Structures are given as C-alpha cells and as structure tokens.
Amino acid sequence: MAHSHQGGGLGYEKNAERLTRATDILKERGYSVWDWAPSEVYIKDMTLPWPTIMEEFHKPILQSGYITEAFFLPSWEQSNGAKAEHDYAETAHVAVKEFPEAWFE
C-alpha cells in the first residue's frame, strides 16, 4: 500500500488539494493507497499540537506494516510534518519515493 505526503510552503488548503490530487493519481496508476482525507477531518477538529498528531496518528500508520511505499510531494522538505513522516517511514523500512511533479500534468 502506498501513502502520499504533502510538500511544504503552500499553506494548508493548497497542500491538502495537492495531496488529494496525488492520492487520486496514485490510485489511477494502480496503487492501493491509504487515503488520509477521511481521518483528517476529525484530526483537524481536535486542535491537537502537530507533534502529538504526528506521534500518535501518523507514526503508527507508517510503522503498521501495511504501508510499503511512501510518496513525498515536491518540496516536502519544507514541511515539518512531512519531514517527521519521512523519518518514520525510513525507520519502518518503508520505501520512500519522490512523487514526480510531472504526474500532476
């Protein structure tokens, strides 16, 4: 199963749009993708600090054994959350891949 991660620097709404589009593109390309959007609605409403969200939600998902590949959108290095997810994925031996910008075209 693949998982896509946002890039940084665009603001929450723009990043969410790109992440949703990346999820759709991965599905179109035949990947089985964990869809972040349904859970995001609840997480956003909890107003928890992002380190708590990363540690208690994203980390367990990436380290569950169900995620075999993690795609990171361009400029992911600018997002503290994406950097944490990248570290979690590497620790769990999940294949880390760059999501090609050209796939958005």
Question: pLDDT (tens digit, 9 = 90+) per residue, 65-78?
Answer: 999 999 999 888 88
Query: What whole-number percentage of the chain has pLDDT above 70?
Result: 90
Q: State the pLDDT at residue 76.
A: 85
How far apart CA 41 and CA 62 sit, in angstroms, is 19
Q: Cα 103 vs. chain centroid, distance in angstroms?
A: 16
Of 10-19, 25-34, 72-81, highest mean pLDDT: 25-34
Q: What domains lie within the chain, and their CATH numbers?
A: 2-104 (3.40.50.10400)
Question: pLDDT (tens digit, 9 = 90+) per residue, 53-67?
Answer: 889 888 999 999 999
Q: State the pLDDT at residue 8.
A: 52
CA distances from 85 to 49, 50, 102 (A): 15, 12, 23
| Average pLDDT of the segment spanning 44-51 | 82
Q: State the pLDDT at residue 43.
A: 81
CB distance 84 to 58 below 8 Å: yes
